[in-house]
Amino acid sequence: MEETIENQVDEKKQNQETIVPEKEFETEGEIELNDFPTSVTKNIADETEKPKSIVEQIKEKLEIPDRLILKRKRLALIAVATSMFFTSACTKIGANLEDPFSRNDPNVEEVNRMDTKSLSQTEQKESSLEEIFERATKYWPHTRLEDGKQYLIEEAEKYSSMYPQYSKELLLAVFTSVSMTESNGGIFLDSNVGGDPNMSAKGWFQVIPYWHLNDFNLLNSKNYTSEDLLNDDKKSIEIGVWALMRYVPSYDLADCLKIFKSGTDISSFGQWSDDGIWWNRVSYSIEKLLGKDVLNMGYTDYSLESGVFSANNFLQVPEHIGNVYVGK
C-alpha cells in the first residue's frame, strides 16, 4: 500500500516536471524559413494548431464535405441552371416570339422621331398626289400653283425614285410649301429692286443666279439663264428643287431645308433675320398638306419688323403665318 502511494506521488511529480507552462513570447526581426526570409511579429502561442475534433476527423477520413461547402455548391448550381435557362430563352425560345413592330398597326403609341427609312410610309395613306395638290389649291387659291402643278409633281416623282426613303407625296408637299413661302406660289418671281440681277433672288424658289443657277448648269450640263427663272415655270421649278435636294445624299431633308435657306451650310442657318419665320411658314404649310409634322420640324423663335417672338406665339397670330395661313 505504501509503495503504491509513493509510486503515485512519484508519477505526479514527474507529470508536473514534464508540463511546460504556456508562455506567450514574441519573436521580432528578420528570420529565414526554408530560405524564404519573412518579417514577422507573431504570437507563437496563437499559431499552435488546435487538435481536430473527433467529428472533424471522421468527416476528413470519409471525405464528407462540410455543410457550408454543400450549400455554396447548391447555390452555384442554381445560378448556373438559371443562367442556362434564360440564355436558351433568349436564343431559341425568344427568337420565335412575335415582334410587335412587325405588324402594320402595332399597338403602341406613335413615336415622334426622324427616321428616313420610314418617311415614305408616315404620310396619311389616303393622301395621293392629286389630293395633296387639290388641298394646296384650296388652301391658297390666289396663287399660280395650277400653272406649276405638272412640274412640281414631276420633280416629286423624280426625286422620290432617286431617294426612295422620301415618298413622292412628302416631296410634293415640301416643294409646294417652299414655293409658297418663297414666291407665294409663283406670284412674286423677281426680288430685284435695282441691284445686281445675278445676286437677286429669282423664280419659284427664289434662287440666286450667281450661285444656284451657275452650279446647276455646271453640274447638269445645262445652259439655263436668269430669264428662264422668271419666264419658264418648268425650268424655274427644276432649278429650285435641285437647289433644295442637292445635299440629300449627305443630309436628311430637314437639314437640306436649312442649307437651302441659309445659302451655305447648316451652321449658318439662323444668321439671317428671316430664317425663323421662313422655317415656321414652311413647317406650317407641310403640316397642313399632310396632316402631320412628318419631318419633325416644329416651330422656332422668329423675328419680324415688330420684334422678336417665341415659337409658341406663331400659331396664335394669323398675321405672322402670313400668306400661307389656312383659315378654319
| Lowest mean per-residue pLDDT among 28-42, 130-144, 234-248 | 28-42
Higher confidence at residue 38 or residue 157?
A: 157
Q: Which three cell numbers stand for residue 81?
A: 441552371
CA distance linking residue 237 with residue 157, whole number of Å: 14
Confidence of residue 27 (pLDDT cuts 50, 70, 90): very low
**The predicted structure's pLDDT at residue 80:** 43
Higher confidence at residue 96 or residue 169?
A: 169
Instruction: Give the DSSP per-residue string, 309-326.
Output: E-GGGGGG-HHHHGGG--
pTM over 0.75? The answer is no
Residues near 290 by Cβ (< 8 Å), separated by ≥ 6? Answer: 123, 124, 127, 132, 169, 170, 173
Higher confidence at residue 48 or residue 270?
A: 270
In this prediction, what percent of the chain has a pLDDT beyond 90?
A: 55
**The predicted structure's pLDDT at residue 39:** 41
Q: Is 105 helix (H, G, I), strand (E, B) or coil?
A: coil
The answer on pLDDT for 23 being more than 50 is no
Q: How large is the average pLDDT for residues 270-292? A: 96
Domains of the chain: 119-322 (1.10.530)
